Amino acid sequence: MKCIVFCSGKGGTGKSCVAAYTGAALANAGKKTLVAELGSNASSLEIILGVRNAAFGALDILAGRCDASEAMVEAEKFPQLMLMPSGGSPGESVQGEENIRALLGTLYSYDFVIVDGADLSCFPVGFCSTFVLVATPDTLSVQASAQLARQLYRSGARDVRLIINHVPARIIPISGAEDFDDVIDVVGAQLLGVIPASPKLAYCSNNEQPLDPESITVKVFENIAGRLMGQRRPLLIR
């Protein structure tokens, strides 16, 4: 099982959307994939993936109210992709390294577990194959991602990747970074993908829809998934 944790240095980067569609791309590639929500903002992935009124979630597993299989819900519009909501009451999240270890220990039947909303202050780094930083091409987001990358490396993370999201056709200059190579150097993480700004992506993520299979955005997510599987794929930077 490969555990991929999606995180960001600040809000508004589209992290949950990127996590969801990366999970969908892995599932489409034939990998048994689960997207797990561990944060308090439990509705994000459910809205994006079109899962309504899930009976149980991660917190219910830990509380003994259900077993792991009962907390897994198929995302019907995203074939083969499973979702584990956080469960519990609004504002609750999975806390404590011991609880996270216990939860992840129930998920070894999956090829990939995509984790969103994790509390990185108590996340057991040894359980994670890759941390994926999702940033936008602006100074505040890049600097926040650099700070988070340093925190992850100090905690023992060995593989930290970077996805730059919401990239417009013409990028506004960033303080201290003239191009993507400079952004990579500032953040200190290997570039995993560049996702173009797309009204269609925004529409699909807000309306529980898969992406147009012929769109460049689908190909971008397919290549992100391919690189997570160890394949050589182009970045498709416009």
Q: Which residues pair with 77 in a beta bridge?
A: none
User: Pairing between strand 190-196 and 73-74?
Assistant: unpaired
| Helices (runs of H) and strands (runs of E) counted in the chain | 8, 8
Measured CA to CA, the distance from residue 23 to residue 150 in angstroms comes to: 26
CATH topology for 2-228? Rossmann fold (3.40.50)
Q: For residues 149 and 145, what is the distance between their CA atoms, to the nearest angstrom?
A: 6
Q: Which residue has the higher pLDDT, 168 or 135?
A: 135
Distance separating alpha carbons of residues 47 and 165, to the nearest angstrom: 19
Question: Which residue blocks in 73-211 are alpha helix, DSSP H?
Answer: 97-104, 139-154, 180-187, 199-206
| 139-154 and 180-187 helices, crossing angle to 10° | 40
Side chain identity at residue 31, one-letter code: K
Confidence of residue 16 (pLDDT cuts 50, 70, 90): very high
C-alpha distance across the termini of the chain, in Å = 33
What residue ranges do the domains of the chain occupy?
Answer: 2-228
For the question of whether the overall pTM of this predicted structure is more than 0.85, the answer is yes
What are the pLDDT digits (tens) for 186-233?
A: 999 999 999 999 989 999 998 888 898 888 999 999 999 999 999 999
Give the pLDDT score at 41: 56
What proportions of the chain, in percent to the nearest 5, are helix, strand and coil?
A: 35, 20, 45
pLDDT at 52 (0 to 100): 80
Whether 90 shows a pLDDT value over 90: the answer reads no
Name the average pLDDT for the chain. Answer: 90
Q: Half-sphere exposure of residue 153, counting CA atoms within 13 Å on the CB side?
A: 11
Q: What pLDDT, in 10s, does the model give residues 44-78?
A: 898 899 988 788 999 889 888 899 999 999 998 89
Structure tokens at 128: 């994670």
Cβ–Cβ < 8 Å for 9, 144: yes
Residue 12, phi-psi category: left (phi > 0), alpha (psi -120 to 50), beta (remainder): left
Q: How confident is the model at residue 237 (pLDDT cuts 50, 70, 90)?
A: low
> Could you tell me whether strands 130-135 and 160-167 are parallel, antiparallel, or unpaired per DSSP bridges?
parallel
- Average pLDDT of span 9-17: 94
Whole-angstrom distance, CA of residue 73 vs CA of residue 118? 19
Write phi, then psi, for 35 (nearest 5 degrees).
Answer: -105, 125
